[in-house]
């Protein structure tokens, strides 16, 4: 049975004067909303390049969101299979 869907992702970046970048990502599936957080700090000895802070904070926020999705999928698989939660890495690999 074919299935299509559209999920919306909103990523917000916040740069602070001290070289800290914060990212907040929200996934809206239409029935559920999940949020991920990420933060990046510029080392005072390094040049403050905002794009790098954005990339790190956004990547960390999306990684947080991805881990939540993998955990939810693992719990759903356990529920369908009727088995105890596994100790194996989610999706067969570690992130």
Give one DSSP letter per residue of 60-85, joined into a string: HHHHHHHHHHHHHHHHHHHHHHT-PP
d(CA 23, CA 36): 8
| List of domains in the chain | 8-83 (3.30.160.240)
Quote the pTM value: 0.80
pLDDT at position 3 is: 92
**Sheet of strand 33-41, all strands in order from the earlier edge strand to the far edge:** 8-15, 20-28, 33-41
Residues 29-58 pLDDT 10s: 999 999 999 999 999 899 889 999 999 999
Percent of the chain with pLDDT over 90: 71
Residue 86 has pLDDT above 70, yes or no: no
């Amino acid at each position: 049975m074919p299935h299509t869907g559209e999920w919306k992702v909103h990523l917000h970046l916040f740069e602070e004067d001290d070289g800290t970048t914060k990212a907040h990502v929200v996934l809206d599936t239409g029935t559920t909303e999940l949020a991920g957080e990420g933060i990046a700090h510029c080392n005072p000895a390094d040049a403050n390049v905002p794009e790098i802070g954005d990339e790190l904070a956004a990547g960390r926020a999306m990684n947080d969101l991805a881990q939540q999705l993998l955990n939810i999928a693992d719990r759903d698989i356990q529920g369908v299979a009727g088995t105890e939660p596994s100790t194996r890495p989610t999706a067969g690999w570690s992130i």
